[in-house]
Structure 1
Amino acid sequence: MVAEKHHGRAWVQSFPGQGAKFTIILKTAPAANDNIPA
């Protein structure tokens, strides 16, 4: 699954008679300037 290859997670919640909710969480990389000392 794409989410797992990016060290994330994905899941589905089903609501009978209403539909479904798909949730995907992907980790982000730190910004390029996060390693610059203040």
Structure 2
Amino acid sequence: MKFKTLGNRNAPAVLFFHAMGGDGMMKIQIVKIGFGGKQ
């Protein structure tokens, strides 16, 4: 997962896993789109 390499290993990973536990697909899609656009 690329978010880990962006900065703090803990914060993005935690946010990512919280998104998975919560709304799952929707939030992951948003995160993917957001990070994908930055690349």
TM-score, normalised via structure 1 length = 0.22
Q: Max radius of gyration: which structure?
A: 1
Give the number of the structure whose residues are more often helix, by fraction. 2
TM-score, normalised via structure 2 length = 0.21
